[in-house]
A = this chain, B = another copy of it.
């Protein structure tokens, strides 16, 4: 039923190669012939078979997007932006969910490798060495993690965490707890490092609780520990945990922000809707998705790793393995207030404190604080 190139050739009285050229190299075919072919193709509803094309060109015009957990509200905006950007460049996107499982990640890259021109690895939980190894099998762009020698898109959560801690210090907090994220998360390590430095620099006590599941229940489960730690302020690995923690504290009779201040990270849509509205570090997720796709596809004029052309993409295609770091912003809402001893103040308006090196728009790729390492 579906029309092939042969059907079009027959209908328009030319050889199949002419039909092929009509689509892939129009300037090589006589305008009159071209018109006829186009008309027949239109009539028959012909669409080139991309799989067959991929077989010979070596470029599938597909990319893979591997996600730690689709249901985590952090990811959908990223997926949406990546898919949109890819489609605009005539690429289709395989989406796969690993359930935060490093083994599944590896298996998925293998399974997808032959079917795609590249893979976006989003918040991978596997080891760096495994990532490097996989990158020899298929071009990779890593999101939310830095891996030496590979193109990466990260968000400056270190900077964000520092802003958050300084915000808390400014409110008089001197006992600060951190709810860390899942094991293997680069982001979590980064936050921990930066927050620790900033807290100690401000003369505050700094406790780390975790690692934890980066979910609402993960956060709620920590309420008791937070109380025992006697911290007056908490920075959470992400908004979901922050919100869960607030719920948990509520059950324990602790009010936010009166008794405890809580800061999240991500600024998912949800954090504007809870009560209290969440103070959080906004990360440019959609921009990250777009940027990653651009980095993966930046060399798509170069011949693929196909047969005919140059052999092996890694040899002749010296892809610039840039590492881009996107800016973050602290968004102050209602979940932070002065430390209990100092009385209360609840800011009502929404304040935005941009990072120090802020560029034109939020989330534009930027040469922040040594963030860009071109090699």
For the complex, is A270 an interface residue (Cβ under 8 Å from B)? yes
A84 to B97, Cβ gap below 8 A? Answer: yes
Encode A91-125 as 1/0 by CB contact (under 8 A) with B: 01111110000000000001111110000000000
Q: For the side of the interface on A, what is the size category?
A: 35 or more
Partner of A114, one of B50, B84, B93, B243: B50
- Interface stretch, picked from A72-80, A179-187, A292-300, A345-353, is A72-80
Measured between beta carbons, the chain B residues less than 8 angstroms from A47 are: 110-111, 113-114
For the complex, is A71 an interface residue (Cβ under 8 Å from B)? yes
For the complex, is A274 an interface residue (Cβ under 8 Å from B)? yes
Mostly helix, strand, loop or mixed at chain A's interface?
mixed
B92 to A93, Cβ gap below 8 A? Answer: no
Measured between beta carbons, the chain B residues less than 8 angstroms from A115 are: 50-51, 62, 92
A2 to B92, Cβ gap below 8 A? Answer: no
Measured between beta carbons, the chain B residues less than 8 angstroms from A70 are: 76, 79-80, 83
A113 to B2, Cβ gap below 8 A? Answer: yes
14 A-B pairs whose Cβ atoms sit less than 8 Å apart in the complex:
A2-B113, A47-B110, A49-B114, A51-B52, A51-B54, A62-B94, A70-B80, A71-B269, A73-B73, A75-B76, A83-B96, A216-B269, A216-B273, A273-B274
Q: Lowest 10 CB-CB distances: which A-B pairs, in order? A: A275-B275, A95-B95, A51-B51, A70-B80, A71-B76, A71-B80, A49-B114, A70-B76, A92-B94, A51-B54
